[in-house]
Homo-oligomer: A and B are copies of this chain.
Amino acid sequence: MRLSRYFLPVLKETPSEAQIASHRLMLRAGMIKQASAGIYSWLPLGWRVLKRVEQIVHEEQQRMGHIPMLMPTIQPADLWQESGRYNAYGPEMLRIRDRHDRDMLFGPTNEEMITDIFRAHVSSYRDLPLTLYHVQWKFRDEVRPRFGVMRGREFLMKDGYNFDLTYEDALHAYNRHLVSYLRTYERMGLQAIPMRAESGPIGGDDTHEFLVLAETGESGVFYDSEITDLRFGDRQIDPDDREGCRAVLEEFTSRYARTDDTHDAAAFEAQVPEERRREARGIEVGQIFYFGTKYSEPMGATVVDPEGNRVPVHMGSHGIGVSRLLGAIIEANHDERGIIWPEGVTPFHVGLVNLKQGDATADTACDQIYAALGQAGLDTLYHDGDDRAGAKFATMDLIGLPWRITVGPRGLEKGVVELTSRRTGESEEMTPEQAVTRLAQIYAPHR
| A interface residue numbers (CB < 8 A to B) | 5-7, 9, 30, 33, 35-36, 39-44, 46-47, 50, 65, 67-76, 91-92, 94, 96, 98-99, 102, 104, 106, 113, 116-117, 120-122, 127, 130, 132, 134, 137, 139, 141, 143, 153-154
Q: How far is the CA of A67 from the CA of B1 in the complex (A)?
A: 10
Given A9-B122, A99-B91, A41–B65 Cβ distance below 8 Å? no
Contact residue among B42, B74, B94 (Cβ-Cβ distance under 8 Å from A154): B74
Selected contact of A94 from candidates B70, B98, B117, B139, CB within 8 Å: B98
Q: Interface centre among A43, A75, A98, by most B CB within 10 Å?
A: A98
Contact partner of A7 (CB less than 8 A), chosen from B33, B67, B96, B134, is B67
Would B76 and A36 count as touching, CB distance under 8 A?
yes
Q: What is the minimal beta-carbon distance from A165 to any residue of chain B, in angstroms?
A: 15
**Once the chains are docked, how many angstroms separate the CA of A141 from the CA of B35?**
22
- With A35-B75, A35-B113 as known contacts, state yes or no: A96 contacts B96, CB within 8 Å: yes
| Residue pair A137, B73 in contact (C-beta under 8 Å) | yes
Contact A6 B99 (CB under 8 A): no
Is A104 a contact partner of B36 (Cβ separation < 8 A)?
A: yes
Q: Are A154 and B72 in contact (CB under 8 A)?
A: yes
Contact B5 A65 (CB under 8 A): yes
**Are the C-beta atoms of A35 and B154 separated by less than 8 Å?**
no
Going nearest first, the 8 A-B pairs with the smallest beta carbon separation are A9-B121, A36-B76, A42-B70, A41-B71, A91-B99, A99-B141, A47-B69, A72-B154
Main secondary structure of the interface of A (DSSP, over half): mixed
Asked if B41 and A117 make an inter-chain contact with CB atoms under 8 angstroms apart, the answer reads: yes
In angstroms, Cα B116 to Cα A5, docked, is 20
Inter-subunit contact A72/B141 (CB<8 Å)? no
Asked whether, in the complex, the Cβ of B74 is within 8 Å of the Cβ of A33, the reply is: no
What residues on B are CB-neighbors of A117 within 8 Å? 33, 41, 43
CB atoms of B73 and A47 under 8 A apart:
no
Q: Supply 18 A–B pairs (Cβ within 8 Å), ascending by A.
A: A9-B120, A30-B121, A35-B72, A39-B72, A42-B69, A42-B70, A44-B69, A44-B132, A46-B69, A47-B70, A47-B134, A74-B139, A91-B99, A94-B96, A94-B98, A96-B96, A99-B141, A137-B137
- In the assembled complex, the Cα of A116 lies from the Cα of B153 at a distance in Å of 20
Q: Is the pair A120, B50 in contact by a Cβ cutoff of 8 Å?
A: no
Q: Which residues from chain B contact A139 at a C-beta distance below 8 Å?
A: 74
- A63 → chain B, closest Cβ, in Å? 13
Which residue of B has the minimal Cβ distance to A75?
B35
Q: Look across to chain B and name the residue whose beta carbon is closest to the beta carbon of A114.
A: B41
Closest to A78 in B: B36
B73 touches A154 (CB 8 A): yes
The answer on a CB contact under 8 Å between A68 and B47 is yes
A143 to chain B: closest residue by CB: B99
